[in-house]
Structure 1
Amino acid sequence: MITKKTKVIFTVIGLLLTMVVGFRAAAINKDKQFVSVATASTGGTYYPIGVGMANIWSTHLKEEGIRASGQSSAGSIENIDLLRKGEAQLAILQGLIATDAYTGVRNFEENRYKDLRTISMLWPNVEHFVLMNNKINTGTIEDIEGNRFSVGPQASGTEQSTVVMMQGLDLTKKDIRPEYLGYDDTISAMRDGRLDGGSLPAGIPTSAITDMYASGVKASVLEVTDEQLNTINQESNSWYRFTIPAGTYPKVDKDIQTIAQPNLLAVSKQLDEKTVYLLTKTLYENLDEMYAVHSSAKNMTLETALDGISVPLHIGAYKYFTEAGVDVPEELIPPEAK
């Protein structure tokens, strides 16, 4: 029979063991730094690229005490909020959203993020406007008018960039029947007949688009004309011509003429210089491992590291690129380094 006194002794012993375990865990983690990379929905390119970078950092910076992980999110606009709140230490952003946040325009007109800094351009964010074949007229992105069309999750970079591109076509959400779905959900809804199309910007090949073609959804990626590109860039000079090569997607045997904007790895200026220097250096010294993560990562080179960037570098990244012999334009030199 267990007496009341025995129960008290067991309780005390249990508390002591819990405290010892807690102290040991705290001692083990004392010299570790945990960083999280905010990405986007799992069906696009942001997520596998973010997770891939995190794995490389955790592997090669183990002795430095750095542990990294990727986290899914609603995309670029939410990622800005996660950086502000310290709920993510790094984030992948569309170039358009990074520029808007840093300069305080559109969604950030009353909420400029002056502390935003860039680490590197990662890969081109290729615009995929997809539409059911029976809704296609010209074969270009103007065909979305009047259709049930997903502009991306609410508060995402996809939604923001899609709306800006629509403005360049003299379209607003009133000219479509908007839905707010992630990549995989967009294709699933099209397959089920609940949606006519959607905007799915990502590196190529995009898994959701691959699934669309491979699974027999009767839909196609729409093209963008030079005139459409020019009018879109009058809204925001963020896009450039991009050709999706024939064979990138199943059953597509011709080039697709579309447009793209850069995807960036961003950070708050508050993250310390040493950590960002190590993250940047480790990333560029192990590009072969990044290339194995996703074909979009093959766009990452020292020569293209600053392409399309409009937000100043973090001082840690600036230090690495300077050491690596990269010519950093004056506008990208961090204010902290001047």
Structure 2
Amino acid sequence: MFIDHIRILAKAGDGGDGAVSWRREKFVPRGGPDGGDGGNGGKVILVVDNSVDTLRQYHYDPKLIAEDGKPGGKHKKTGKGGKNKIGKVPPGTVVYRTNAATVNEAVEYERSDEGIDLDPIADLVEEGDTIVLCENGVGGEGNFKFRTATNQTPMEFTLGTPGEQGVFYLELRRIADAGLVGFPNAGKSTLLGKLSHAKPKVGSYPFTTLQPMIGVVEFGGFRRCTVADIPGLIEGAHENRGLGHEFLRHITRCRVLLFVLDMAGSEGRDPISDLEILRKEIKEYDEDLAKFPWKVIANKMDLEGAAENLETFKSRFPKVEVIAISADKGDGLDDLKMMLDSEVSQRAKK
């Protein structure tokens, strides 16, 4: 099961209480106070791990709870500190703080018209990137700390402070150099399979791809790029129709967008209309995303009517770079790889 967004409850450990204790040893009358301090609680930390590729683990247990610190002891012993709770997340995880007190409250907010506030606090991209979600509570002071020249038998001590807690929203945005954008059955999965060693599911029905797939394209000379096959878009996706945001969130990190069109119109589609709808949906979702560099991949050029449709398409969009291919037959893939190599290399230098 692929999970790319989830709410979790995080709670740092409370600090242990300080102790009230008295030194009681043979030949040491009136030994005085010796109560130790409480231990600090553990922190809640998120860390990027490249071996993790989904947020699935938090679907089954949406909690990150750190250990509390132990109370102080006699003989001025400090209580044992609580262990940090470390949660692993995949590269590309965006972390938001919410205004909900519990995960259930966050869900109820989502179902209501009020919505829920999401405050972005971290974008975890590289292996080892970390963020402290909740700071630990601090241990209290034992009565040994309160001794003075005029107060030889202090009864004072302090309680440990509570650790921070909150509900956080984690959103995975897959990292790829190029993103394949298109309607269902445009041939994105077939294309990714031909360009790389990825093995996406391919079928002749809509929404064959139900999760982003990443393929590595080799160019030679130790150069390579990553290409993402994103779940197919439908009109109204910016309003979360169809797979909606399940699709759109994953293209926000791409250096270049590749609009894959069925140039043959094999399912009664119009390539010109398809591009206009795709561009509109992206702009409605995020205007900055609409400014990303983009190209058009005219797919299914081996089918009847594709050549005529391509001429009409180029007349309508004379300034748009179009790469004509047949993903099924493998035609035009060398030209596509050359374009990808050049485009990704240029973007990487900026």
Q: What is the TM-score of this pair, normalised by structure 1?
A: 0.26
**Between Structure 1 and Structure 2, whose CA radius of gyration is higher?**
2
Q: Answer 1 or 2: higher relative contact order, Cα 8 Å, separation at least 6.
A: 1
Q: What is the TM-score of this pair, normalised by structure 2?
A: 0.25
